[in-house]
Amino acid sequence: MDFFPSASTSSTPPPRTGPRDPGDAWVEGERGRYWGRFGAAGVLAYDPAKGVLLQHRAVWSHNGGTWGLPGGALHEGEEPVDGALREAYEEAAVPSESVEVLFTSVLDHGYWSYTTVVVRVRESFEPVISDPESIALLWIPVAEVDALELHPGFAASWPDLLARLDTDASW
């Protein structure tokens, strides 16, 4: 499953290739240091038959080795939903045409924000590791998410996201 074993399991990031987007930078403020000059966003994909799609983050990444959402820095002027779907496609091959946006949740620190875009899978797909930022991409049953070592930001938001997700709803 891991197409980039040396990069994802190493504590050293892979060599950078291609141009860097202006949004790919750290911002700092009174609440800490965060990735994404224009904010960041990620996708919480929910498939009633499989659970939620989680990314085991590369060891070299910020909070590496933890489980979180495919996502990343927004581009300048990019809407958070668009950025989250772009990042989820780039990192996990989440096809935007196979999902339906249910809701968004925003953590806003003023100088930086993170938007979680919660989607329901309409047409089943298998995620694909397509860059070195992932050790694994797995569908995790909802009841098992808390058993994982979660990215701190995702761990803090998971209870509220789960409550809003309403996994018992008939779709």
Tens-digit pLDDT profile for residues 154-170? 999 999 999 998 765 54
* Predicted confidence (pLDDT) per residue in 33-76, tens digit: 988 899 999 999 999 999 999 999 989 888 889 999 999 999 99
The partner residues of 104 in beta bridges, in order of sequence, read 117
Task: Say which amino acid occupies 29.
Answer: G
**What gap in Å lies between CA 115 and CA 88, rounded to an integer?**
13
Residue 108 phi/psi, 5-degree rounding, is -120, 115
Which pTM was predicted?
0.86
3-state SS, residue 6: helix
